Amino acid sequence: MRTPILFSFTLLFSVVSIVSAQVGQNKARYAGSYLEIPVGIRAAGLGTAFVAIADDGSAFHWNPAGASLTTGKLISTEYTSLFGTVSDPLSTFIHTGFQMDFDKLGAVSLNWIRLSVDDIPKLERIGDDPDTRKTGSINSLDGRSFFTNSQDAIYLTFSRNFTQVIDFGWQFFKVPYQIPIGVNFKYLRQSFGAPLNYSSTGIGIDAGMMIITDLNDYSAKKVWGTFSLGCSINDLTNTIVTWENNSQFSIPRSVIWGMAYKQPLTFINSQVLVSYQSSVRYQTEAAVGTEFTYDNTYSLRAGTRNNELTLGAGLFLFNGLSIDYAFETHDLGNPHRIGLSFNLESVKW
């Protein structure tokens, strides 16, 4: 088992080294920025500190390695009203996906995300002078036309969970480690509706890995929990986005890493999860989160990302059905997120 794991690590970092040489495209500061919108209601409630957890239908977004941590056939969907109000948001964000494990062969998932904005006013170009543009923009609102903008991404994810046993040389001290490894292939499309009718496309690759260990394997007392490390490298090849006029922009590669610890509280039939995450693309950003779960049924979550508070709650209903909610503070309006997931494996046909 050691050979394929070492090969996978070597391959991942070799690819990173090869693509580090940037060739000829422009790096647009916010190209593909919609890909940075958090996916997954549980992750959002945890302040997005999820790269070392990634054990639900949002794994493809945070760490494709985590797709193999969920068993069964999982359907996930979510809706977010971004800014504005719940009834009249400035934009909407949706996700739907299907994830399926194949036992020792690993897992495969297919996911679609969309960010859409309606009723964008089309203003005529009025020059470069700031005062002229301000006055002209106000006047041009009369009789204006509107257009829409939609940004889509489709992810195909492959993941496999390897087990590596390490012998530390002491009697009865062999420790098993779970080492999930995964990769995303993603297709991107951005389009402006009539009267603009303009679009762009791109293809990108993400890769990730995790190391998971049970701390009880290091102690005679079986009172400890599970510790995990996670790392994901998004847009490995500096994903190229090409517009219809053949202009090209690249989405810079980003690195996300984090750690998480899950502590069971058997005396109250509960568990506590704490997590930390750091990401680097244009600048370093940190997130922390915590979750309290009672009886594997009720969950309360809290976290912070970029000094913005996040809160969340989850309820496992019945037959593999769960519902999650998350709330985030933001200067432009507080996003509300709601999601459902359903594991078909729990249904008795």
Domain CATH code at residue 208:
2.40.160.40
The answer to the question of residue 276 being in a domain is: yes
Instruction: Answer whether residue 89 shows pLDDT above 80.
Output: no
Mean pLDDT of 13-30: 43
Burial (Cβ within 10 Å: 0-12, 13-18, ≥19) of residue 246: exposed
Domain count, the chain: 1
Residue 114: phi and psi, rounded to 5, are -145, 135
Counting every residue, how long is the chain? 349
Which percentage of the chain shows pLDDT scores above 90?
53
Q: Within a domain: residue 312?
A: yes
**pLDDT higher for 118 or 175?**
175
Residue 173 reports pLDDT greater than 90 = no
Within a domain: 130 = no
Beta bridge partners of residue 149, listed in sequence order: 117, 192
| pTM of the shown model | 0.83
Report, as an integer, the average pLDDT of 316-321.
85
Give a yes or no: residue 143 inside a domain: no
- Does 137 map to a domain? no
The answer to whether position 267 is within a domain reads yes
What is the rounded average pLDDT of the residues 146-171?
Answer: 86
pLDDT band, residue 326 (cuts 50/70/90): very high
Note whether residue 133 is domain-resident.
no
Amino acid 127: pLDDT:
57
The domain of 341 spans 2-125+148-346
Q: Kindly tell me if the per-residue pLDDT of 323 is higher than 80.
A: yes
Residue 117 domain-assigned (yes or no) = yes
pLDDT at residue 39 tops 60: yes
91 or 132, higher pLDDT? 91
Residue 152 to residue 201: CA distance in whole angstroms = 9
pLDDT band for 93, please (50, 70, 90 cuts).
very high
Between residues 92 and 207, the one the model is more confident about: 207
